[in-house]
Structure 1
Amino acid sequence: MEHVVIKCGGSIMEKMPPALFENIVTLANSGQWAPIIVHGGGPLITSMLEKLNIETRFIGGLRVTTNEVLDVVEMALSGIANKQIVRKIALAEGKAIGISGTDGGLLTAEPARTSSSLGFVGDVANVNTSVIVHLIEGGYIPVISPIGADLQGQRYNINGDTAAAAIAAALGGRLCFISDIPGILIDKGGEKSKLDTATNRDIDEMIASGQIWGGMIPKVRSALNALLSGVGETAIINGLEPGSLLSYCSGGKAGTKIVLEKEAVHGNQ
């Protein structure tokens, strides 16, 4: 059985159709795949902070997290977004259990190395895969919110992409980023063409030339960072397209696979 970590960003969660959750349940029932969902919830967090009149700011794309902000982050991610996904899995006739990285010591966190001014923003120091394995063996789809704790019990807000990559690497599985576009699109003869496969060098060149721009840049950077952290294969697929996840897992050409250069399969159409 192969593990596939499915990363659902906060910006797309409200758009995800029932068909995507039905695909995830189909994978779980196949006996060949063990899907694990890791989710974000940035827009929900921002909305709740605004309603509560709690000021928040970002440094390098990461939310500065005070204890006051962290209370809201945990409430939004673990209490609202997580359970929304669990309910949608149930509607698709699947069984899911929603947990955070603090449950069962799933994600041991440490302060983020990128900056000392981010407050309680963390990186993943260790993944306790036995928590996930036990849920899967019990017939459940794990739904994970990216809150972790250190050995002293201090909570940390972990970037969802970072958490998903760490979990996929620890399980030796694939990592699939759910998006609202078909994959990496480039201009070819005045028309948009999807790449079936892209390497780290391809991506660097396309960013430099402007073919990859805007909101796609952080998506592909997250995919590359996951590869560098030990994930064997990453992909960006369109979660709004029925059957795209099943197509990807069955070896179809849904989305764009992103690999390190030595592993690249050439011949994009």
Structure 2
Amino acid sequence: MNKILTVKCGGSIIHELSDTFFESLKELKDLGYCLVFVHGGGPDINEMLSKEGIEPVFINGLRKTTKEVLGIAELILSGKTNRCLVEKLESHGIPAIGLNGSDCGIFQAKLIDETALGAVGQITNVHTEVLGALLEKGVTPVLTPISSTGLGKKANVNADMAAGAAAKALNSEMCLFVTDVKGVLIEREIQKRLTKTETDSYINDGKIYGGMIPKVNTALAVLDQGVRDVMIVSGKERFFQNGEFIGTKFVKEERVMN
């Protein structure tokens, strides 16, 4: 199979993806890359919860998922956010199919702490056969992070971690995190490569701050899952042009060249 890129889109950036972003995707496909998308949908889920009079609860960054919240999360992720991303890909000439991560047991998970978190899961296995068959046909899978816990039961999984698990299982060349920024800026310059040591140092110095801190910590956490490389790129402009990625790549310490 051709080289695979796993692409994670946050729910907030999906509605802001630019035409130039899709031009980068098409250029990558023309170079023989296969694409697998995993997406979140936090803003849309929160909006629906608000309409239902349910206050979102987060514990250590994870959404407490009661049975009612799980139903709403799945409804929004698979019925709205997923449809939106698939339509955007199709409208830019990229054949795509939307799937719940629980379909065919693609994402299998165990519950982390049912008493405290409800139906929040951690992925234990990724069945890649269905994904591989679609990629062989030139179709881009677009996955929600809703996962199967067996016997028809489901769990809500953090989309970042789901993307990392998919990237590892598929032996992806890279896991791309699509955000609203080009990458990590230090003194107005994009850092092309960062290790954990360098990233931690910039955080301690106050050069990485605010909303960028959770972005880089997520990237490093996924790198720790065993993914080859992880990159933060922009969904608002080209992130790949003339054979080069534009953004910040996070790499393991021993792979940095002097």
Other-structure match for 1:141? 140
In the alignment, the residues of structure 1 paired with residue 100 and residue 116 of structure 2 have an alpha-carbon distance, to the nearest angstrom, of 24
* Equivalent position of 1:200 in the other structure: 196
| Deviation at residue 22 of structure 1 after TM alignment | 3.6
- Equivalent residue pairs, number: 256
Greater RCO structure (CA 8 Å; 6+ sep): 2
The code of the aligned residue for 1:163 comes to A
Cα 1:104/1:31, change in 2 over 3 Å:
farther
CA distance in 1, matches of 2:240, 2:215: 17
Gaps of 5+ in 2: none
Cα distance in structure 1, aligned partners of 2:66 and 2:240: 37
Residues 245 and 77 of structure 1: CA distance in aligned 2, closer, same or farther (over 3 Å): farther
1:55 offset after TM fit, Å? 2.7
Give the fraction of aligned pairs with identical amino acids, expressed as a percent: 39
Instruction: Look up the SS of the partner of 2:12 in the other structure.
Output: coil
Contact kept? 1:25, 1:89, Cα under 8 Å: no
Report if the CA contact (8 A) 1:112-1:121 is conserved.
yes
d(CA) in 2 for partners of 1:200 and 1:154? 37
Instruction: Give structure 1 regions of 4+ aligned residues with deviation exceeding 3 angstroms.
Output: none
**Deviates further, 85-94 or 157-166:** 85-94
Distance in 2, Cα, partners of 1:101 & 1:126: 11
- Over residues 198-244 of structure 1, what are the superposed CA-to-partner deviations in whole Å (9 max), with x where a residue is unaligned? 001001111111111111111111111111111000111122113x1
**Cα deviation digits, residues 170-223 of structure 1 (max 9, x gap):** 111110111111211112xxxx11111100100111111111111111111111
Instruction: Give the AA of the match of 1:126.
Output: N
Output the CA distance in 2 between the equivalents of 1:36 and 1:137.
Answer: 12
Q: TM-score, normalised by structure 1?
A: 0.91
1:245 pairs with 2:240: yes
Question: Aligned letter for 1:220?
Answer: V
Aligned equivalents of 1:56, 1:253: Cα separation in 2: 36
TM-score by length of 2: 0.94
How far did 1:34 drift?
0.5
State the distance in 2 between where 1:170 and 1:116 align: 29
Mapping 1:25-174, distance limit 5 Å = 25-28=26-29, 30=30, 32-112=32-112, 116-173=115-172, 174=174
Structure 1 residue runs of 5 or longer lacking an equivalent are none
RMSD over equivalenced CA pairs, Å:
1.5
